[in-house]
Every structure is written in C-alpha cells, then in structure tokens.
C-alpha cells in the first residue's frame, strides 16, 4: 500500500456495499488509519432484536444500545462522542439477514441508522465509513 492511503477514494462519511473489499483489507485499512474497526457478523439473526443484540455484543456497545434503532444510534454517536476524542471508524456489517422477520424494510431502517451515524460524525469532521453485505 505504501504512502497511498487506504480508502482514499471512498468518501469519509458513507454507508455502502462492501463489494470488492474483504473484511481483512478493511481491518488493515482501519489499523493503518488509526481508526476504530467495528465488525459484526449478522447471519445468525432472525429478528430486529437479534440484529440489535448482535451489534451491541460484537461492537461492544453500551447494552442500552440494544433496545431499538434509536438507542443504537445514540450509543454509536453521543455516548462515544462524550467518551473522548475519536480518530475515525471503519464499520463492517457482514451478512445482514434477509428473511420474513427482518425484511427489506428492516434492512433499510438499519442502514438508515448507520447513514445517520455517518452524518453525525461527518458534522464533527470524523470519518465514519460503513460497509455492508446482505445474506
């Protein structure tokens, strides 16, 4: 990679499909940039509550973040912001479920929370890049 900064062609505050990236590459990029790497594998989730529980557990968020999407947002924004200066975030949501209990609407709501989170950090000039894949 040399001096070529990883993720330089990707806007600093964005939610996008993981596409050509591997989780390993994204983790290496986060390390190189000195950013937090947040990874969650969601393939075992069946419901919205399962998704929230897995995110809290795997992102090591305050347990209050698992109540609903609003509390998830709060725990990834204000709570973290108040805990001290942040350098940036690389987030991976792998295998977001697709089933009757967590359908297209559920997935869109989830991604909207991450888009709002990216905007929150963007307003504070902190990179927050989120990459996702669907099951």
Dump pLDDT digits (tens) for 20-47: 899 999 999 999 999 999 999 999 999 9
Q: Give residue 2's pLDDT band: very low, low, confident or very high (50, 70, 90).
A: very low
Q: What is the pLDDT of residues 63-79, one digit of tens each?
A: 889 999 999 999 999 99
Tokens of 126: 């902190």
Strand partners of residue 59: none
54 near 106, Cβ under 8 Å? no
Rg of the chain over all Cα atoms, to the nearest angstrom: 14
70 near 6, Cβ under 8 Å? no
pLDDT for residue 63: 86
Longest dimension (CA), the chain: 46
pTM, full prediction = 0.94
Mean pLDDT of 15-24: 95
pLDDT for residue 1: 44
Q: What is the pLDDT of residues 51-62, one digit of tens each?
A: 999 999 999 998
Query: Can you list the domains of the chain with their CATH numbers?
Result: 13-134 (3.30.370.10)
How many whole angstroms from its chain centre is CA 8?
Answer: 18
Average pLDDT taken over every residue of the chain: 94
Q: What is the pLDDT of residues 88-120, one digit of tens each?
A: 999 999 999 999 999 999 999 999 999 999 999
Phi-psi region of 88 (alpha: psi -120 to 50; beta: other; left: phi over 0): left
């Amino acid at each position: 990679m040399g001096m070529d900064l990883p993720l330089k062609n990707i806007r600093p505050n964005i939610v996008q499909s993981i596409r050509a990236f591997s989780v390993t590459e994204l983790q290496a990029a986060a390390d190189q940039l000195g950013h937090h790497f947040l990874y969650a594998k969601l393939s075992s989730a069946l419901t919205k509550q399962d998704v929230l529980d897995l995110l809290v557990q795997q992102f090591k968020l305050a347990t209050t973040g698992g109540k609903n999407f609003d509390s998830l947002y709060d725990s990834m924004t204000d709570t973290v912001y108040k805990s001290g200066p942040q350098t940036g975030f690389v987030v991976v949501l792998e295998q977001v479920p697709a089933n009757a209990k967590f359908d297209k609407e559920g997935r869109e709501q989830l991604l909207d929370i991450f888009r709002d989170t990216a905007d929150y950090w963007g307003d504070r000039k902190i990179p927050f890049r989120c990459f996702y894949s669907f099951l």
